[in-house]
Amino acid sequence: MNRRNFVRNGIGAAAALGLAGPRTIFSAPQDTGAARGKKFKLKYAPSIGEFKAHAGDDPIAQINFAADEGFLAMFDNGIMNRPVPQQEAIAKKIDKRALALGPFVLYADFSVKSFVTRDKEIRDMLLKKMNQGVETLKRTGIKWALVVPGRYDESLDWDYQTSNVVDNLRFCLDVVAPAGLILVLEPLNPKNHPGLFLTKIPQTYQICKAVNNPCCKILDDMYHQQITEGNLIPNIDAAWDEIAAFHIGDNPGRKEPTTGEINYKNIFKHIYDKGYKGVLCMEHGHSKPGKEGERAVIDAYRQCDSF
């Protein structure tokens, strides 16, 4: 059979079986919307502002949209700096929709040598910050506050710096722990944030063990840790008893899961099987703009949650 007859006969056979033609070969499955509104298995937390194209600028409308899509949590890094009435309105709506609120940023100054020092002015600043964090907890009910211990000091031996970080954390915890506020320490990757003291999960784990307070825990940002050290699941397992929260972002690009190299479906299944009940903050951008990009984010989480 020559090539022309083979192709013609092949197409004819396929048509006879109902397999050929643009209608069958090229048409994508239609989105019935059946999954929309179904509750996710884990507490993936969109940020306030994640779904502005769909819900507009109003944080309350955004919370309603996320809850209607099946999300079980939200987070707002900057909630401590919002006007008090807005903080209270967000907390009230979160409670009404039976959602969780993820960690807010309490201290994350990347330009200052802070926790690594024994500077009295730094202690005074930290005391003020910790008291602000406690007030935010009282207004919002958010019991996790994110801390980045600042820059390292090139002129001071690393072990002294580590000891100073431990001492300063204990000082902070004397303020926040009685109120029930948990400090979550976030290591960041040195490629995007050179010069910071805290970069690795094992390092953060060591500090939490040295501080020896149940209100000092780890926030594992899997985007940062993929860049810094990889080995995500083994490090999660090794530090499990000190991990209180996660941040999500794929690498490269820091966009939604499925856009990079991290197998988030396997990771989500792993921590779900371990019994994780906490929040996973969606701290990433969108691979596409507008409503299409927001829907792509939701669809990516549906895909990764289908374990």
Task: Give residue-wise pLDDT tens across range 147-175.
Answer: 999 999 999 999 999 999 999 999 999 99
Q: Are 159 and 267 in the same domain?
A: yes
Residues 273 and 131 in one domain: yes
pLDDT tier at 8 (50, 70, 90 boundaries)? very low
pLDDT confidence band for 259 (50 / 70 / 90)? very high
Cα 15 to Cα 10, 11, 19, 265, distances in angstroms: 9, 6, 6, 38
- Ranges assigned E (strand) in 35-163: 43-45, 73-74, 100-101, 104-107, 144-147
Q: What is the pTM of this model?
A: 0.88
Which amino acid, one-letter code, is at 278? G
Average pLDDT, the chain: 91
Are 75 and 191 found together in one domain?
Answer: yes
Domain that holds residue 48: 37-304
Residues 69 and 167 reside in one and the same domain: yes
pLDDT in tens, 81-94: 999 999 999 999 99
pLDDT band at 270 (very low <50, low <70, confident <90, very high): very high
Q: How far apart are CA 284 and CA 226, in angstroms?
A: 14
Examine the domain organization and report whether 21 and 42 are in the same domain: no
Q: How far apart are CA 199 and CA 67, in angstroms?
A: 34
Q: Are 186 and 288 in a shared domain? A: yes
Q: What is the pLDDT of residue 171?
A: 98
Q: Where does the pLDDT of residue 6 fall: very low under 50, low under 70, confident under 90, or very high at 90 and above?
A: very low
Number of folded domains in the chain?
Answer: 2
- Which strands sit side by side in the sheet containing 279-282, from one edge to the other? 43-45, 279-282, 243-248, 216-221, 182-185, 144-147, 104-107
Question: What interhelical angle do 158-176 and 201-211 show, nearest 10?
Answer: 60
Whose structure tokens read 């289908």?
Answer: 306
70 and 10, same structural domain?
A: no
| 159 and 13 in a common domain | no
Give the pair of three-digit tokens for residue 83.
């006007």
Do 121 and 3 lie in one domain? The reply is no
Per-residue pLDDT reduced to its tens digit, 224-256: 999 999 999 999 999 999 999 999 999 999 999
C-beta separation of 295 from 261 below 8 A? no
Same domain, residue pair 272 and 253? yes
Q: Is the pLDDT of residue 9 over 70?
A: no
Residue type, 153: D
* 248 φ/ψ angles, rounded to the nearest 5 degrees: -120, 145
Q: Answer yes or no: do 116 and 25 share one domain.
A: no
Assess whether pLDDT exceeds 60 at residue 15: no
Q: Which of 13, 196, 35, 137 is nearest to 204 (CA)?
A: 196
Q: What is the dihedral of CA 67, 94, 78, 133, to 10 degrees?
A: -150
Task: Tell me which residue of 104, 47, 109, 50 sits closest to 77, measured CA to CA.
Answer: 104
User: CA–CA separation, 152 vs 105, rounded Å?
Assistant: 20
CATH number of the domain enclosing 132: 3.20.20.150
Is 80's pLDDT higher than 60? yes
∠ CA 214-215-219 to the nearest 5 degrees?
105
Would you place residue 24 in the very low, low, confident or very high pLDDT band (cuts 50, 70, 90)? very low
Q: Are residues 295 and 155 in the same domain?
A: yes
* pLDDT tier, 16 (very low <50, low <70, confident <90, very high otherwise): very low
Q: What is the mean pLDDT of residues 191-215?
A: 98
